[in-house]
């Protein structure tokens, strides 16, 4: 392992035989900094004012850049990372990506009411953003295991930030990592392919994370298998150098079609983490009892089970979980649970993302809980959303089923031709 420390060397940003600097800049924008070190392509998210949230221009940049790197046989790995953010106290705060730019989506859907949102029509941000974002998610999920993506989760990683990283082969957590899919709290659902991913976690973990928006730290992520490695933040620069050098050292030795050349480096830097503090581990019995996904389990059943657990003995975790659920959008909760059930039956991430696009378009319709949730949580910051309907009991399964209706000519269509099962299994 010490080899990496002594033979690190940085090549120029780009080699003229691969991709010149002018072309690299053409594929970048101010919020996405693309570079190349040795044979590793590096994406740095650079939108600090919004905690590196993904706007449409950033998504379109990734949509243009990633296929170029995937088709370039000299690129042996890709690395995703976030820029540091300076907070009001002038302290550096590590951030990977706080999600998608939902404020822009909100404005597009509320200020242009003469446009028909929610049906997948092109040239509307409420459809184009998600069509492009989900395509990027699929490109990442389909990337060859011989050309692995490594994502450095140093700081906040939520929503859309999860989508551009969790489908990659390696996800590195640090002591600063804070992971969540908080969409049910703004009248939405965990999207960007996480219906597929979460529905395949052990027991009730995925459903619990999806419905409650639970904030997870490194111990939870390693325990659940969501993060693949733990590296202290003080060693990230050293890790990045070692990863880059590994792509250079193996370029003339190992054919790119055989295996990746960074796994050994990550394993060398990986440190064992104390899992005894993991909330997922400590509350696993309650989580599995209430949240394990079954075809005949509904939201009311989850709530009843939690109440039964509480009736047997005082349980702060169950109390807090119930309080959280009752704060979320009833529509979001029921549609999310149904989405998890359906996602578990899909055979590819492509199928899942196509389903999620249908779901998302229904949430883009006028009077959707999404617009109310964003208003209350992110715009006015009053934190008093008026959900419609207010009560879970007022939401029939027929209404829920309507969120999965086919969009006809405006469907998202993705190919699963490059999604070999061995490829997907190795990432989960």
Whether pLDDT at 12 is above 50: no
Report which listed range, 91-105, 321-335, 408-422, is most confident: 321-335
Q: Tell me the β-bridge partners of 44.
A: 33, 81
Q: Is 183 a catalytic residue?
A: yes
328: left (phi over 0), alpha (psi -120 to 50) or beta: beta
pLDDT at site 421: 40
DSSP string, 107-157: HHHHH-TTS-TTS--TT-HHHHHHHHHHHHHHHHHTS-TTS-EEEEE-SEE
**Among the options 41, 82, 99, 100, which is catalytic?**
100
DSSP state of 412: -
Question: For 114-142, how does the pLDDT look when each residue is reduced to its tens digit (9 = 90+)?
Answer: 789 999 999 999 999 999 999 999 999 99
Euclidean distance between CA atoms 4 and 33, whole angstroms = 25
pLDDT at site 16: 32
Whether pLDDT at 303 is above 70: yes
Euclidean distance between CA atoms 265 and 240, whole angstroms = 10
Confidence of residue 426 (pLDDT cuts 50, 70, 90): very low
> Across residues 28-42, what is the average pLDDT?
92
Confidence of residue 288 (pLDDT cuts 50, 70, 90): very high
End-to-end CA, the chain: 26
**Among the options 82, 159, 160, 339, which is catalytic?**
160
Give the list of residues 6+ apart from residue 162 with CB closer than 8 angstroms, or none. 179, 181, 192, 194
Euclidean distance between CA atoms 403 and 332, whole angstroms = 10
Euclidean distance between CA atoms 313 and 333, whole angstroms = 26
HEC readout, 199-256: CCCCCCHHHHHHHHCCCECHHHHHHHCCCCEECCHHHHHHHHHHHHHHHHHCCCCCCC
Q: Is 373 a catalytic residue?
A: no
pTM: 0.90
**Among the options 191, 241, 354, 416, which is catalytic?**
191
**At 65, is the secondary structure helix, strand, or coil?**
helix
Q: Is 160 a catalytic residue?
A: yes
Total residue count of the chain as it appears in this document? 428
CA distances from 271 to 109, 149, 201, 230 (A): 45, 20, 23, 6
Give the list of residues 6+ apart from residue 362 with CB closer than 8 angstroms, or none. 118, 368, 402, 403, 405
When mean pLDDT is compared across 2-11, 183-192, 309-318, 413-422, the lowest value belongs to 2-11
**Among the options 101, 133, 154, 183, which is catalytic?**
183
pLDDT at site 115: 81
Whether pLDDT at 18 is above 80: no
């Amino acid at each position: 392992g010490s080899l990496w420390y002594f033979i690190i060397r940085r090549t120029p940003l780009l080699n003229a035989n691969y991709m010149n600097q002018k072309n690299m800049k053409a594929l970048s924008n101010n919020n996405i900094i693309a570079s190349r070190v040795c044979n590793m392509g590096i994406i740095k998210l650079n939108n600090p004012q919004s905690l590196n949230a993904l706007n449409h221009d950033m998504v379109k940049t990734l949509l243009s850049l990633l296929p170029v790197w995937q088709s370039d046989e000299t690129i042996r790995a890709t690395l995703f990372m976030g820029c540091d953010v300076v907070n009001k106290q002038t302290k550096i705060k590590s951030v990977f990506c706080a999600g998608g730019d939902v404020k822009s989506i909100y404005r597009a859907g509320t200020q242009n009411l003469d446009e028909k949102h929610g049906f997948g029509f092109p040239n509307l941000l409420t459809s184009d953003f998600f069509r492009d974002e989900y395509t990027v998610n699929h490109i990442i999920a389909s990337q060859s295991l011989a050309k692995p993506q490594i994502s450095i989760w140093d700081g906040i990683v939520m929503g859309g930030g999860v989508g551009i990283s969790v489908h990659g082969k390696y996800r590195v957590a640090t002591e600063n990592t804070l992971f969540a899919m908080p969409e049910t709290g703004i009248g939405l659902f965990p999207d960007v392919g996480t219906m597929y991913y979460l529905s395949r976690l052990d027991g009730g973990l995925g459903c619990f994370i999806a419905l409650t928006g639970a904030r997870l730290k490194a111990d939870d992520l390693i325990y659940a298998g969501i993060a693949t490695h733990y590296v202290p933040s003080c060693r990230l620069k050293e890790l990045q150098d070692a990863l880059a050098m590994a792509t250079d050292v193996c370029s003339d030795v190992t054919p790119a079609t055989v295996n990746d050349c960074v796994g050994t480096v990550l394993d060398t830097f990986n440190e064992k983490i104390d899992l005894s503090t993991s909330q997922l581990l400590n509350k696993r019995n309650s989580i599995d009892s209430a949240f394990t996904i079954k075809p005949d389990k509904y939201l009311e059943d989850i709530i009843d089970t939690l109440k039964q657990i509480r009736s047997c003995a005082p349980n702060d975790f169950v109390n807090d979980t119930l309080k959280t659920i009752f704060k979320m959008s009833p529509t979001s909760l029921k549609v999310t649970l149904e989405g998890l059930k359906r996602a578990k039956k899909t055979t590819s991430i492509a199928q899942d993302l196509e389903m999620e696009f249908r779901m998302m378009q229904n949430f883009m319709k006028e009077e959707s809980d999404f617009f109310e949730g964003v208003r209350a949580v992110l715009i006015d910051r009053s934190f008093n959303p008026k959900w419609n309907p207010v009560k879970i009991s007022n939401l029939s399964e027929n209404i829920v089923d309507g969120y999965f209706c086919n969009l006809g000519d405006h469907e998202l269509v993705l190919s699963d031709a490059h999604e070999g099962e061995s490829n997907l299994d190795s990432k989960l």
